[in-house]
Chain A
């Protein structure tokens, strides 16, 4: 249990470090180039671990699954990560991280709209809290 929580904290620190060092690295180059460059070591780390722990699974995957990976790569990097880096470059990693971390609101909207899930009071209260936090950051100039 404790190891799991420690790993979750490591993940949070990893994402935070990524935002801060991306900002430092983008002082002379544009966000699309920075995004492409920082994906290389990230791909090397995760692919190395994936091949070490799941090599038999990888060799057994069908071509269709790789098309799903391609779709994820398309949405996540020229989409999400690039926008994230544009945001980091323009308003700084702290404000950007707060805005980007409001994604559970969108997850809830998509879940209600497309997965037929229903709203409950926790989701409404949580959304209000997230929105308040984002508004506070956006209006802080």
Chain B
């Protein structure tokens, strides 16, 4: 079995069928696809950032009427139900493609999300947001460190990535100071 590494992300090809499709594809088409995937990744990141930025205003209102951890818990629950409602028809295909490690890694990702959100709310209940926000904003630096450990063969960490993360962290702290 030939091990193929996809051009756009460096991850192993999902299946032999996908690998064959990849082999048969003309090089220019694969390159265009790779470029598109790169751009869509940046655009999706900016979209997520805009949604998280806007969510703060809504989150404040909901937090006032209940408790942030309650809001987060039910937000997760409704989020799961809505994801199933919107994308449930694609799940059987994904279940067929998945292997044990898919669920293992996604479960760890979910547990770390829950751990992160819970720690965040507990931190907010103990110290002011002006201290919590910049500390939590350092998460891209932790992501780079964890990527270097767990995604050694997939993720390339450059000095530009580290410098970019430091600039964003500095910017977040400055914006935070401006909001005091």
Contacts and interface: CB of A to CB of B under 8 A. Distances in A.
Q: How large is the interface on B (under 10, 10 to 19, 20 to 34, 35 or more residues)?
A: 35 or more
B119 to A, nearest CB: 4
Contact of A80 (B51, B78, B101, B135): B51
Interface in B70-91: 70-84, 86-87, 90-91
Interface residues of chain B: helix, strand, loop or mixed (majority):
helix
Contacts, number: 477
Contacts of A51: 73
A24 B122 CA distance: 28
Interface string A90-133: 11111111111111111111110011000011110111111111
Nearest to A31: B44
Interface residues of chain A: helix, strand, loop or mixed (majority):
helix
B154 A126 contact: no
Given A39-B79, A101-B139, A136 B167 contact: yes
Contacts of B83: 32, 35-36, 39, 77-78, 82
A21 B105 contact: yes
Contacts of B103: 25, 37
Interface string A63-98: 001101111111111111111101101111111111
Interface string A45-75: 1110111011001100100011011111111
Given A42-B111, A73-B82, A134-B164, A4 B123 contact: yes
A21 B106 contact: yes
B151 to A, nearest CB: 6
Interface of B: 8-9, 11-12, 14-15, 37-38, 40-42, 44-59, 61-62, 65-67, 69-84, 86-87, 90-91, 94-95, 97-99, 101-120, 122-123, 126-127, 131-132, 135-140, 142-147, 150-151, 154-155, 157-158, 160-161, 163-179
Interface of A: 1, 3-5, 7-30, 32-47, 49-51, 53-54, 57-58, 61, 65-66, 68-84, 86-87, 89-111, 114-115, 120-123, 125-134, 136-141
23 contacts: A8-B136, A12-B139, A15-B113, A24-B151, A42-B110, A42-B111, A69-B62, A72-B59, A73-B75, A86-B44, A87-B42, A89-B41, A90-B9, A93-B155, A94-B144, A103-B50, A103-B56, A111-B57, A123-B179, A130-B172, A131-B171, A136-B160, A137-B161
